[in-house]
């Protein structure tokens, strides 16, 4: 574990571990049906977005072309672009973009003080005072609080969240 992997004493998976996990899951999908690829794409949307937003769009278009080209061609093209997407490591900026997309799912339900708390946390992340794992562990309870199964299924939370539960939105559970 290097210094980039350990901030404030919190270990995290290496980007190589993340990449290997995603590619292993894809290898299970590529021998299957189109619906398996659609599910894979949905579950990995934010993970791929953190790595390469333009490749995410290409991957979405590949999946959407299933009626126009053979499944074999789709899987081959998808795999090529998935590798390309995962070659680019996520940055603070790309992670922040993903966090803002996730925030969009909840922002209407937050009070002004809760929104302010969220943006304070995001700024701490942008200023490298906390890790991506920490901010996601703070958001993770909200995913379940609002019963958002789409976000709960995202590998982004699985692979980047710290294992400790967050407490940023503890006030929500007090209501």
25, 101, 109, 121 from 114: Cα distances, Å: 36, 17, 9, 11
| For range 125-149, the mean pLDDT | 91
**pTM, rounded to two decimals:** 0.84
The pLDDT of residue 81: 98
pLDDT classification of 11: cutoffs 50, 70, 90 = low
Question: Over the stretch 72-121, which tens digit does the pLDDT of each residue have?
Answer: 999 999 999 999 999 999 999 999 999 999 999 989 998 899 899 999 99
Task: State the DSSP code for 168.
Answer: T
CA 86 to chain centre: 12
117 to each of 35, 53, 141, 146, how far by Cα in Å? 39, 27, 15, 18
DSSP string, 65-83: TTTTS-HHHHHHHHHHHHH
What residues contact residue 109 under an 8 Å CB cut-off, 6+ apart?
Answer: 146
CA–CA separation, 126 and 121 (whole Å): 9
Closest of 73, 138, 133, 143 to residue 106, by C-alpha: 143
pLDDT-derived band of residue 5, with 50, 70 and 90 as boundaries?
very low
pLDDT reading at 133 higher than 80: yes
Query: What dihedral angle (degrees, nearest 10) is formed by the CA atoms of 75, 78, 84, 87?
Result: -80
């Amino acid at each position: 574990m290097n210094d980039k992997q350990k901030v404030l004493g919190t270990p995290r998976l290496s980007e190589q571990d993340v990449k290997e996990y995603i590619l292993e899951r894809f290898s299970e999908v590529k021998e299957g049906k189109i619906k398996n690829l659609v599910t894979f794409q949905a579950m990995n949307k934010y993970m791929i977005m953190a790595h390469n937003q333009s490749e995410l769009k290409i991957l979405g278009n590949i999946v959407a072309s299933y009626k126009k080209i053979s499944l074999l061609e789709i899987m081959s093209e998808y795999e090529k672009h998935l590798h390309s997407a995962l070659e680019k490591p996520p940055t603070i900026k790309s992670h922040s973009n993903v966090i803002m997309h996730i925030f969009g799912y909840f922002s209407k339900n937050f009070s002004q003080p809760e929104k302010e708390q969220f943006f304070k946390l995001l700024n701490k992340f942008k200023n490298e005072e906390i890790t991506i794992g920490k901010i996601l562990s703070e958001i993770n309870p909200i995913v379940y609080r609002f019963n958002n199964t789409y976000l709960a299924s995202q590998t982004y939370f699985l692979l980047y969240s710290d294992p400790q539960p967050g407490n940023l939105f503890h006030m929500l559970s007090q209501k």
